[in-house]
Structure 1
């Protein structure tokens, strides 16, 4: 299985989902990206790294990147962390090119709130880990 997790800047939600998925599914090809290019080349956001580390997830080797057109053919599933990101991805690549992450995981058609703004890194990780566990 090849999965790409996508959020806005690829420094919080999608980075956390990548880390959780790599821990759960070491044989899968897992990556993450952002729709925006503001943080390309940057590591995940410090508070997200710390919150993930407290749960045994190491995000330190990750670097933010922006979604590329070839991602839509390279990955089996492109999973958006919220509806706005989903709209952007579908505008880039077509109607069913991406899915809403928590909905794809069977947890309802809802967003993973962005902890960069909410400051709720634990709540974000709770949702991310629950969703990732249901992808297998």
Structure 2
């Protein structure tokens, strides 16, 4: 199983999602990307790294990259942080690709959120990480090899 987490710039939400998920499911390959190319090669945003580090998540080895159509061939599941990014991902879907694209919040319906708000704009890194943590736990539990039983 290979999972790709996608947000807009790949400097806040998706690297935090990757970090939270890999802490819960270290045996599952994961990566993150952004639908924009604004920050390609940059590390996660400093305030997000600091907030994640305070929770024991080290994002310092991650670097932003641009989501590309070829990602549909490289990943088994693509997870978007919000509806706009999901739509941007779907616009790049190659004909015949059946790779599922889901909202991250689908994995934590108990949170009542339809998307992960972008803390780059809201400045609420802790609330974003709370939601990301819940979604990552839900996704990890949904994976067949995690013992969750349900398929992602």
TM-score, L = length of structure 2: 0.84
For 1:114, the equivalent position in structure 2 comes to: 118
8 Å Cα contact 1:89/1:97 also seen in 2: no
8 Å contact kept, 1:18–1:31: yes
Instruction: List runs of 5+ in structure 1 lacking aligned partners.
Output: none
Distance 2:90 2:104 in 1: 14
Find the counterpart in structure 2 of residue 101 from structure 1. 104
Q: Comparing 30-39 with 69-78, which one deviates more in the overlay?
A: 69-78
Q: Cα 1:69–1:124, aligned 2, differ >3 Å: closer, same or farther?
A: same
RMSD: 1.5
Runs of 5+ consecutive residues of structure 2 not aligned to the other structure? 141-152
Alpha-carbon shift at residue 101 of structure 1 (Å): 1.1
Match of 1:66 in 2: 66
State which structure, 1 or 2, has the greater radius of gyration over its C-alpha atoms: 2
* Equivalent pairs, count: 135
Structure 1 runs of 4+ with >6 Å offset: none
TM-score, normalised with respect to structure 1: 0.94
- Bigger RCO of structures 1 and 2 (CA < 8 A, at least 6 apart): 1
